[in-house]
Structure 1
């Protein structure tokens, strides 16, 4: 076997140990990739921080609501609305035949989340429960005080128990309030627009009716609506 000269061995050794050079363009590309990864991670963090800080969940509940509402809009107005309250669900059959305009407005407000967080701000036993965003003296309080002063609190079947209505719009109050009757009350015929009736959850209405109230008929412990689900079938 031929012998390798010492000088040749030295040259081979230097070639093996000599580090390979990294080009400037490779360094720049690597730095750009690192910066993009950092920016992507930061953007993801900001996105989820924003969602959590604003009370937005993972999106599954929003998808469920949109699917339910989307189903109703494809075939017209929904037939039912489920009021999710602190005491349980209340299923309402909507009266689209005689109160279509009101039902249409109600559905539109549901889509915008208007009723989420709405409190039952006045509860009058054997009369009515009223939901609204205003804490001022409500229409139900004015009605009952006026009825007492005029001795007109007799009830009849003109307004059945467990019907859902809203107050007729006035110049002073354009808020869309909800009223659920807990008795058959005749003097509401000229005050309420009835657009639904309770078909499930009457016991929930009665539970709300039992809450302790102050002298202005306002519940001492808050109870209200957390969500509204619209459906074609009950």
Structure 2
């Protein structure tokens, strides 16, 4: 057996003890993991850093939403049905009418204020009045003014079959209802129109034909049974 020279043994020993090489895929894997860890730490830091600000904005948004919900007014019904002793009168409510008048009318309807209310003045070819009477002199004055102003130009909201009330007086708790049976230009300064008859004109005309005394009061009682509010007909 041939002997290995000492110099060759030394060379073989150095080769065995030399460090092993690291592969390129391993280096890339470690680098990617390090980058992922760094980005994860940055994202976590930003999330916790911005959380109080976002939470405050969310709370403010919820508060504004609650405030808007509380301040929103309920929607105004589109129609009202007046049940009378002669039949039903269906009316369209004017949303652009005086808000005070419309809100008062709707409030009284919901309270049943108009149940059993009489039409206490019926003036043929002019107006039907129900509600709290203002005295016997008012209809006389109105009929004279109506005759004198018959040639005046009328606006659409003061034609026949319009529904309105007298201008609200803070000292009065009542509410009058007027249904016009002819154009009434002279009442522009007296009536606030808040609706018009869209069905039941024949009922209005039947009420208009009842017999009245010299003060335009019906000899036989005729009035409102009830008024209901509707979104659709």
Q: What TM-score, normalized by structure 1, do the two folds share? A: 0.62
Note if contact 2:78-2:232 (Cα within 8 Å) is conserved in structure 1.
Answer: yes
Report how far residue 166 of structure 1 moved: 0.1
- 1:77 and 2:76 equivalent? yes
Note if contact 2:149-2:185 (Cα within 8 Å) is conserved in structure 1.
Answer: no
After superposition, the Cα gap between the structure-2 partners of 1:141 and 1:176, relative to the gap in structure 1 and judged at 3 Å, is farther
Q: Which has the larger radius of gyration?
A: 2
Match of 1:232 in 2: 231
- 1:163 and 2:167 equivalent? no
Report how far residue 100 of structure 1 moved: 2.8
What SS class does the counterpart of residue 207 from structure 1 fall into? helix
Matches within 5 A, 1:186-225: 186-225=185-224
Report how far residue 117 of structure 1 moved: 0.8
Match of 2:132 in 1: 133
What SS class does the counterpart of residue 121 from structure 2 fall into? strand
Gaps of 5+ in 1: 1-73
After superposition, the Cα gap between the structure-2 partners of 1:105 and 1:79, relative to the gap in structure 1 and judged at 3 Å, is same
- 1:175 and 2:174 equivalent? yes
CA distance in 1, matches of 2:134, 2:100: 27
Report how far residue 140 of structure 1 moved: 3.3
After superposition, the Cα gap between the structure-2 partners of 1:134 and 1:98, relative to the gap in structure 1 and judged at 3 Å, is closer
What SS class does the counterpart of residue 142 from structure 1 fall into? helix
Note if contact 2:101-2:168 (Cα within 8 Å) is conserved in structure 1.
Answer: no
What SS class does the counterpart of residue 218 from structure 1 fall into? coil
What SS class does the counterpart of residue 104 from structure 2 fall into? helix
Q: Deviations over 1:141-183 (max 9, x none)?
A: 33224555xx334354321110000001347755210000000
What SS class does the counterpart of residue 180 from structure 1 fall into? strand
Match of 2:143 in 1: 144
Q: What is the Cα-based RMSD across aligned positions, in Å?
A: 2.3
CA distance in 2, matches of 1:123, 1:87: 14
Report how far residue 103 of structure 1 moved: 1.2
Q: What TM-score, normalized by structure 2, do the two folds share? A: 0.63
What SS class does the counterpart of residue 130 from structure 2 fall into? strand
